[in-house]
Amino acid sequence: MRLDLLETHSLIGNLVGLDTSVTPGIDVDVKVYKVFNIFGIEVWLTQTVVTTWIIMGALTLIALICRLKLKNYKEKPEGSQNFVELVIETMDSFVRSTMGDKHAYFGNWFFGVFCLILVSNLCGLLAFRSPTADLCTTFAITMTTFTLIHFMGIKTGKGSYFKGYLEPIPIMLPMNIISELATPISLSFRLFGNILGGSVIMAMVYSLPRILNFGIPAVLHIYFDVFAGCIQTVIFVMLSMTFIKDKIAE
């Protein structure tokens, strides 16, 4: 049976007992705004794509503003330079404590990933549907980590990298391959499940009569969007760094 994402009543909505076509508040569905046909291939412009591009645009704008603000760099920081240096130094310390000083150059990459995931997780505060509540987003981010894991393993380990799949005995090759393939699946589903779970609960709360949910959404937003969003961002980045560090042959 074909599941049409354009249908009014969603699978998730039915599972949690909500008719998301008429329920006010946060929608747990991924809306499809437009379907383009490019050379016979369907390209969907979804809510996730639009929100992600808005986030990337906002982060790029903030980066440009910070760059302009720091154009006249001062040895003794003050004002906005203090804040920017605090953020950068915190991330640098985070990377060094997890991967070691030798691999501190990963800080630039993981700072970008951290900002993207964190802002995506916090979208619920602005009534946006979080892009990380879409498995396509979390899986795409995870695949970049998966690529880095094995790229660094091959680059630093060379022959020993491939030999590792035959340890402790050659018959373990299939199990070792399955173990490696499980990494992106577990990483992506962990982030996706936690953020989507919060969205579903918030949708259920907003479906209650107004007199019953007075003040409750504000408290739950603090937990699911701020607390859980920040924690899941840290966990994702820390696990990604750990997996890469484990593959690097010292």
Q: What is the pLDDT of residue 83?
A: 84
Nearest Cα to 236, choosing from 177, 178, 172, 189?
A: 189
Give 97-106 pLDDT, tens digit per residue. Answer: 989 888 899 9
Domain spans of the chain, in order of start? 11-247
Q: What is the mean pLDDT of residues 169-187?
A: 91
| pLDDT mean over 222-246 | 91
| Size of the chain in residues | 250
User: In the chain, how long is the greatest CA-to-CA distance?
Assistant: 66
Sign of the torsion formed by the C-alpha atoms of 146, 150, 153 and 155: negative
Q: How confident is residue 160, by pLDDT bands cut at 50, 70 and 90?
A: confident
Q: Is the peptide bond before 174 cis (omega within 30 degrees of 0)?
A: no
